[in-house]
Amino acid sequence: MTKDSRADIRNFKITDLKCGEEQPHADFVIYAFEYFAQDIAHLFKPHRHDFYTLLLVTEGTGCHDIDYQTYKIQSWRLFFISPGQIHAWRNINSNTKGYIVFFTADFFELRYHNHVLAEFPFFNSVQNLPYIDLSGNSKAYLQKIVEIMYCEYLSKEAYLENILRSYLNILLCELARQYRPASHPDSHNSQQYVLFRNFENLVNQHFTDKKHVKDYAAMLFVTPNYLNEVCNKISGNSAGEIIRKRIVIEAKRLLAHTSKTISQIADELAFEDSSYFSRFFKKNAGLTPEQFRKESSL
């Protein structure tokens, strides 16, 4: 793929999900994966969503590429995809089974407001794995919750939306109980962990216009030294490293999936000039922007 022929990556909206049946609600969709998989050839190309996705695989194999990392699709693995993440499916076994759930932030936060979704450790994090492997009794229990959601979704009965929101909240809370982020195992409920997640959320919102630790520390009412201390304790990375990782992920998305020039990407990411952006990218990604773009097109 040459730079000139490179098409911008497709951004799917939840209303684009049409698998041969009427959707009871425009902001929440759930399918049995084997049914959904009948029409996913177009999803083998990298793409992104403006909604959240949960994929529970109960049986099957394949590969799932998420933001330039490849993860195995295997039995009893549940994937989390946040809005804006670029992902693609590969080599999915025809016998793969499970459930796939799509929902918007508006759907969930109509009842569970105040940005509750941002508090779950598996969403919108550059530090944590985008999946959980279920084991023991949790397999049957979590599968049952998803199956109840699926049956309720198909029923189209009264109070459908309220019931779906309640079950979705239970499912996410149960997953958060079992999920072990790449952070300190005892940090999940601590004040420091809350500070860390708030920092990550702010980075996701402001990484183009705020690139210094002191800016985020001021927004969080802590000192830069304390913010660095917390980030190192929770994730093993400094606050500055987390900011740089987020910028690099976005740069890779733009390089791999748009036809924008290096200069245009530098401008979009609010760098002073393309030379500074190129030096920053090579230092943090190990390749020049041109080299990365060439490799990603092979």
Is the pLDDT assigned to residue 21 strictly greater than 70? no
191-296 classified as CATH 3.30.1360.70 = no
88: β partners: 65
What is the residue extent of each domain of the chain? 10-178, 191-296
Overall average pLDDT of the 204-230 stretch: 96
Q: CB of 123 within 8 A of CB of 52?
A: yes
The CATH classification of domain 10-178, taken from the options 3.40.30.10, 2.40.50.840, 2.60.120.280, 1.20.120.1200: 2.60.120.280
Q: CB of 8 within 8 A of CB of 257?
A: yes
Overall average pLDDT of the 148-176 stretch: 94
pLDDT averaged over every residue in the chain: 88
pLDDT at 180: 77
Is the pLDDT assigned to residue 4 strictly greater than 60? no
Among 37-41, 247-251, 256-260, which stretch is predicted with the lowest mean pLDDT? 37-41
63/7: higher pLDDT? 63
Q: How far is the CA of 41 from the CAs of 63, 90, 91, in angstroms?
A: 14, 10, 11
Q: Strand 87-90 relative to strand 62-66: parallel, antiparallel, unpaired?
A: antiparallel
| Most confident among 69-83, 116-130, 247-261 (mean pLDDT) | 69-83
pLDDT at 13: 87
**pLDDT tens-digit profile of 170-205?**
999 999 999 976 554 454 558 888 899 899 989 999
64: β partners: 71, 89
62: β partners: 73
pLDDT at 5: 38
Residue indicated by tokens 């080299």: 291
C-alpha to C-alpha distance for 231 and 35, rounded to whole angstroms: 42
Q: CB of 163 within 8 A of CB of 205?
A: no
User: Residue 93 is encoded by which pair of tokens?
Assistant: 């076994």
C-alpha to C-alpha distance for 26 and 14, rounded to whole angstroms: 7
Q: CB of 249 within 8 A of CB of 48?
A: no
CA within 13 Å, CB half, 104: 15
What percentage of residues in the chain have a pLDDT greater than 70?
Answer: 90
**Dihedral sign computed on CA atoms, order 186, 192, 195, 196:** negative
Q: CB of 9 within 8 A of CB of 253?
A: yes
C-alpha to C-alpha distance for 160 and 230, rounded to whole angstroms: 42
